[in-house]
Amino acid sequence: MERLQKIIARAGICSRRTAEEYIAAGRVTVDGQTITEPGCKADPERAVITVDGKPLRQEEEKVYLLLNKPPGYVTTLSDPQGRPIVSDLLPKLKERLFPVGRLDLDSEGALLMTNDGELANKILHPKFEIKKTYQATMRQLPSEAALQQLEQGIVIDGQKTWPARLRVLHQEKGSVVIEIIIHEGKKRQVRKMFQAVGHPVLRLKRTAYGGLLLGDLGKGRYRFLGKNDLANIFS
């Protein structure tokens, strides 16, 4: 017997965290019974498990892809407003890939796409402390006190962020680029952190998951990842 969210993640539907949301929303059934408790367990070899009415498929080949997301694309697999979605930029594959983490509509950069829910869980869960590196552009350099506040943790949405690492990459009149490294993944976290110290982000680009770098991958382009690439995430 295994936890239902783990079974769903291993089947490549989504991450464990998202699977928990699906369960709570009543989108998952086991042997015809709707399940809403995330702690529910099932036998993946015997139980008939469905998500949105579709039975889980046999475990499929795992695919890993790094996309350089351009601004103007939504980090979802569908959008009721008809906006461009990140999967529009991907090749036609039989596997259904989902994004690992979010980049908001106006943000850009490294976006890992996969059907490996277990890997996604390790990257997204704070306890694994996988670092995500961003470049944030703003008009002025925050004060030393503000930078120290961001490094030590700042309260946003009623919760204090974990410590971050910051360094100034470029500075000229009317424009400053700051590199920030965090291991959390709250919605719009980097933007909210700088907003909290009075320096709204004008441009935000993710440049790395752990040691997996975006590098010179062109905007809107992608590349498939191998074992060495995946090992770099955890380096």
Fold match flag (2-55 vs 64-126+212-233)? no
Length of the chain equals 235
Structural domain boundaries of the chain? 2-55, 64-126+212-233, 131-209
Catalytic residue among 104, 116, 216, 229: 104
CA dist 107 to 45, 98, 144, 191, 216, Å? 41, 18, 26, 10, 17
Say which CATH topology domain 131-209 has.
Alpha-Beta Plaits (3.30.70)
Q: What is the mean pLDDT of the segment spanning 44-62?
A: 81
Query: For residue 48, what pLDDT is reported?
Result: 86
pLDDT at 210: 92
More confident residue, 126 or 182: 182
CATH of region 2-55:
3.10.290.10
104 is catalytic: yes
Q: Is 204 exposed, middle or buried (0-12, 13-18, 19+ CB in 10 A)?
A: buried
Quickly name the fold that domain 64-126+212-233 has. Answer: Alpha-Beta Plaits (3.30.70)
